[in-house]
Every structure is written in structure tokens, then in C-alpha cells.
A and B are shown apart, each in its own frame.
Chain A
Amino acid sequence: MKSKYSALPYYVWMALFTIAPLILVLVFAFTDNNGAFTIENISQVGEYTNVLVRSVWLAAVATVICLLIAYPLAYIMSRLGPSKQRTMVMLIMLPMWMNFLLRTYAWMTILENNGLLNRFFGLFGVGPFDMINTQGAVVLGMVYNYLPFMILPLYTIMVKIDNRVIEAAQDLGASPLKVASSVVLPLSVPGISTGITMVFVPAVSTFIISRMLGGGGNLLIGDLIDLQFLGNAYNPHLGSAISLVLMVIILLCMSVMNQFGEEEEREGMLI
């Protein structure tokens, strides 16, 4: 009984801030300006297929890059002494203390046609290169901003891997590569799936990064939604429909990934 009552505030919270907005989005997505039921909004989303595909693609690329960078780093961190580990965690969190917009502005000034990098290349007589307003810049922005969200869950899982288990694998003849593939990887699967979720979901729905680093040509779903609510294309019904589609896409991606994660685990068992 007691636990029932103590959970009550959370139920209220969820009803107010999770369920209600969801219902609102649903209602908006399936109604027109007069409040009548319609599926026109949803079918209209089809016109933006290329934006949807681009969003998923760029977010996926950024997620993979984050994983490739973060995985070895998290492993090395997890094997350091306790005080070095704390320092590393601090260093990784540090950029997050700076405002997100500020960080992204900084990248603008670095990547611009007469920005820091191009001026640097100019010293050697090469360039200028087109870096700003490219898909590469968008991916870079995503990786830079979301990398900590990949490192931290991986690190948290990896510190729990007992060094003695790694020693046991080495003792049985496992080379460093083999230790990584047949002990560390299977034991870190939960961290991998958390990290992927934490990077992919915000990356796929971002709009600031794409607007600031991608220019007008690399519109993402986030920008599209933003336009429907705050931009000149004002149409909250279409915006809701796009949001709904985005949610479905994320759900699909996540369930595909969980499937993969489970397989990974089962494969780990067979090694």
C-alpha cells in the first residue's frame, strides 16, 4: 500500500508531462485546422522522405563514429588508476559545462571559409576548403556534442569488468585483440546499446547543429518540425505528424538495435 502512495507523484508527473503531450501530438497530427479528422498530414510527410532519410543517415554515421572513438577510450579509461579515472571523467564532462550553442558557434568560426582552419591551411598555400555548410560539418557537430553521451555509459559498464577476468583470458592464451572480442565486447553490450541510444536519439532530432553547421541545404527533421511551429511555414498539424513519424522511426531503430544487441549477447555466449 505504502509503495503505491509513494509512487503517486510520479504517476501524476507522467500523466502530465508524458502522456498528455503524446495525446496532444496524436490529436494534432490527425486533425486539420477545423479540428476534423484527417490523415492528410501524415501522407504529406511523405514529401519530406529525403529529409527523413538524410536525418537518419547522418545521425547513424555520427553514432558509429562516436562508438568507434569512445569504445577504446572508455576501455583505456576503465583500466586507469582511480584518481586518473576521475580526472578523465572530469575532462570529458568539461565541454558539456559550456553552452551548447556556444560550442556550436565555435565550430562555425573554425570551419568557415575564412575561418581558423582555412586560414591555417592558407599558411601552407592550400585551400580554402568548403567545410562549413556540408554534411561532414553536421556530422562533426553531432560527434563533438554527443561524444560524452557515448563515452560515459561505456565507461560505466567497463569499470565493472573485473581485471581478474581479463587476466584469466590472457592466462588462457588470449591476445589483446582476442580479449577485446571475446571478453570485453560481450561484457560491454549493455553500455553499447545505452550509448547508441543516447547519441542517436538526440542526433536524429537535432536542429541547431544542422542549421548552424549545415547551412540551408542540409535540412534535418528537427529543422522541419521547428519550421512548422516557429518558422514561416507555420503548420502545427504537419509538425505533429512529422514528430509522430520521427518517433516511430526512432522506435524502429531502437528495436532493430536491441535485436542486434541480444544477438550480440548470444553470440558472446558461443565464443
Chain B
Amino acid sequence: MSTNTIISLKDIVVEFDGERVLEGLDLDIHDKEFVTFLGPSGCGKTTTLRIIGGFVAPKNGDVFFEGKRINDLPPYKRQVNTVFQRYALFPHLNVFENVAFGLKIQKLPEKEIRTRVLEMLELVNLKGFENRGVNQLSGGQQQRVAIARALVNHPKVLLLDEPLGALDLKLRKEMQIELKKIQQSLGITFIYVTHDQEEALTMSDTVVVMKDGDIQQIGTPEDIYNEPKNAFVADFIGESNIVPGIMKKDFLVEFAGRDFECVDSGFTPMEQVDVVVRPEDIKVVPTIAGHITGIVENVTFKGVHFEMEVLACGTHWLIHSTQSQAVGASIGMQIGPEDIHIMHKMEE
């Protein structure tokens, strides 16, 4: 355990009705870090947060907070606050009282409570809503009350379970920036859950990719994006072309009917592998200049770029390019050695 580890999960196992939901999870979270859990629905993200918050007792394993084992500490004694996935606002209190709840329990002076709550409401764009009942708010507004209610307490660790899920794109981007700013200026550790991989990549210091109650990869956003550990991570983080290949020897891989130079080594010769190529790493060139030739099947405008589906060697390739091509056109595809990522086949 390094010195600035604030939360540490050791071999956490959780079962619901005999069904394993977390399978021996190990994770260290550092102080003031922005950690994001990313993974498909049902993979155990919320459950992991509930372990940290104290709402689920693990069947096996230990939870440490600043080096002390807290397995038996009830939620109300933990220095952690949560933005719940389904808000869980107090229906009998108005917006102001909801946000003030934690501060009142801490018995802060009335005046300080007032300033802090109003400040926080302004931050989440809910100025003037103080006296509204929470049931008279839209989903997105309720979500922002939930964020304010947790954040106003300045906890050491804030757990956020898809906190921006109900917001429209513009507000979501604004809130992402706000949250990141708050996290940095207050020095709070954020443990953040999201489905949105772009959100994970732009906001986090560390991304934890999960699948079926297991951690697939932990790393910086760059690591996760550029060096995915397996095809699942590659596929989940951003769009990818994943094709079967054979690693002939170090730095040489065969796929799509020909040999490619690559930068990977250390595989057994002739090992069956997954080859991952990002859509934006495939260059569109005249047919004679390309490694592979394909037929454009479909073109979609995506704002900044065009997304093309290209049929080549029996595989549908996804290509992102700033230049559009005519449907039905023959194009060449060029793939550089450093754009080819080789992964061991996933054992299913």
C-alpha cells in the first residue's frame, strides 16, 4: 500500500443469492485521484461503490480507508459521500433542505450552511430553485440536486454513480468541466462511474475497466486507449476493428491475407491473436498505394469526420476520415506498424 493510498479494496467477493457479482476485486485508490469505473451494464460498478460506501458487506475481502480496515464501520461513520445512481432525494424536503441535510447533521452554524448551500446550488445551475419541492423538478434537475447534496459536504472521497446520465449533451459537458474543477480545487478523491467512455477518458486520472465483476485493466486514459490489454478493453474504449491474426514471429503479424510489420513482440511464434486497429488509424489512399483494397459500403457524417464501412478480405472495417468517399468506390487502406495492436486471444 503506497503512502497516499486512501482507499484500498483487497480480494473483494460479493454474492447476491449465491450469484457472484464481484470476483476477488483488488484496487488501490490514491488520495485526490479521479478514478473512473467503466464497464457494461451489470458488471458490478454500483456494487463496488456500495462496498466503499458501506451499504453492501463483502462476503470475502477487506476494505481499507487511510490504512484502517473499515469493513464493520457503518455508512454514517464513513468519510465518504455518494451521488446515487437514482438520486434518492428526500421527498419531504425542498431543494435547499435536501442540500443542507449533511451540513445540518454536522451542526454547522446556520449562516455557514446557508452560504455553502446557495453557493453549491449556483454551481449546479439551480439558483432560484431553493424552495421547490424535489418532486417538482425534472430528472436532470434532480440529478444536480443529488450532486450538490453530496458535494456540499466536501467529503474526503466522493462516489458518483453515473451523475450526469440524465443531462443533455451541452449541460453534461459544462458539468464535466465544473466537476473536474471542483475536484481539483477542493482536492477531493472522486470515484466516478460512467457508461460514457469519452467522459471517462476526458475526466479521469485513472480508468478502471470492468467486466463481469472483474477488473480488465487499470491505467491512465492514454494507456487504456493506446495500449488496451485485451480485445474487450479495446472494443469497449472507443471503436475498434478487431480481426483474427497470426503472430508469425516478433514484429511480424499476418492478418487480412498479408503480413504486416508491427511493434509487438514476446508472443509464441504462430500464436493465434486478436489484431486491433483503431478506425482513425487506417489511412485511405489510392488503391495501388494501400496494404489492403476494399469497397466502400456506407458513409455516415459524424460532425468532425466521416465514418465509413469498408468491405475488405471478408471483413467489415470501420474507418474514420475527414474526407468522404463515394459509396461503391474502391479504396486502398494503409496501416502503419505502430497502429497495429496485438492481443492474446481472450479465453472465453
Contacts and interface: CB of A to CB of B under 8 A. Distances in A.
Interface of A: 162, 164-165, 167-176, 178, 182-183, 186-187, 265, 268-271
Nearest to A183: B90
B144 interface: no
B93 interface: yes
A170 B75 contact: yes
Contacts of B54: 170
A170 B106 CA distance: 13
B162 to A, nearest CB: 14
A165 B91 contact: yes
Given A170-B76, A175-B76, A187 B92 contact: yes
Given A171-B75, A174-B105, A165 B97 contact: no
Interface in B146-160: 149-150, 153
Interface stretch (B29-37, B80-88, B121-129, B278-286): B80-88
B104 interface: yes
B101 interface: yes
Nearest to A168: B88
Contacts of B75: 167, 170-171
A271 B90 CA distance: 11
A29 to B, nearest CB: 43
B55 A167 contact: yes
B8 to A, nearest CB: 20
Interface-central residue, B55, B86, B105, B149, by most chain A CB under 10 Å = B105
A174 B107 CA distance: 12
Interface in B132-190: 149-150, 153
Contact of B97 (A162, A168, A171, A271): A271
Interface string B92-103: 111001000110
Given A165-B90, A171-B76, A171-B82, 8 more contacts: A165-B91, A167-B75, A170-B76, A172-B102, A173-B76, A174-B76, A269-B93, A269-B97
B89 interface: yes
B88 A172 contact: no
Given A164-B84, A171-B53, A178 B90 contact: no
A-B residue pairs, 7 tightest by C-beta: A172-B102, A164-B88, A168-B88, A170-B75, A173-B105, A170-B76, A186-B92
Nearest to B80: A171
B74 interface: yes
Interface of B: 53-55, 74-76, 80-82, 84, 86, 88-94, 97, 101-102, 104-106, 149-150, 153
Contacts, number: 70
B203 to A, nearest CB: 22
Contacts of A178: 76, 105
A171 B53 CA distance: 7
A32 B88 CA distance: 63
A165 B149 CA distance: 13
B101 A172 contact: yes
Interface-central residue, A167, A169, A173, by most chain B CB under 10 Å = A173
Contact of A172 (B81, B92, B94): B81
Given A173-B102, A174-B105, A271-B97, A168 B84 contact: yes
Given A162-B88, A164-B84, A269-B94, A169 B101 contact: yes
23 contacts: A164-B86, A165-B91, A167-B84, A168-B82, A168-B84, A169-B90, A170-B54, A170-B74, A170-B76, A171-B53, A172-B81, A172-B105, A173-B76, A173-B105, A174-B76, A174-B101, A176-B76, A178-B76, A182-B101, A183-B92, A187-B91, A187-B92, A270-B97
Nearest to A182: B101
B216 to A, nearest CB: 28
A171 B90 contact: no
A266 B106 CA distance: 22
A162 B92 CA distance: 12
A252 B348 CA distance: 73
A168 B105 contact: no
A260 B76 CA distance: 31
A134 B117 CA distance: 57
A165 B88 contact: yes
Contacts of B149: 168, 172
Contacts of A175: 76
Interface-central residue, A164, A176, A178, by most chain B CB under 10 Å = A164
A95 to B, nearest CB: 34
Contacts of A176: 76
Contacts of B89: 165, 168
A172 B55 contact: no
A271 B104 contact: yes
Interface-central residue, A172, A173, A268, by most chain B CB under 10 Å = A172
A172 B74 contact: no
Nearest to B79: A173
A269 B131 CA distance: 11
Contacts of B86: 164
Nearest to A189: B92
Interface-central residue, B97, B101, B102, by most chain A CB under 10 Å = B101
A182 B103 CA distance: 14
A270 B92 CA distance: 10
Contacts of B81: 171-172
Contacts of B104: 271
A168 B76 contact: no
B84 A173 contact: no
Contacts of B102: 172-173
A104 to B, nearest CB: 40
A164 B142 CA distance: 15
Contacts of A265: 92
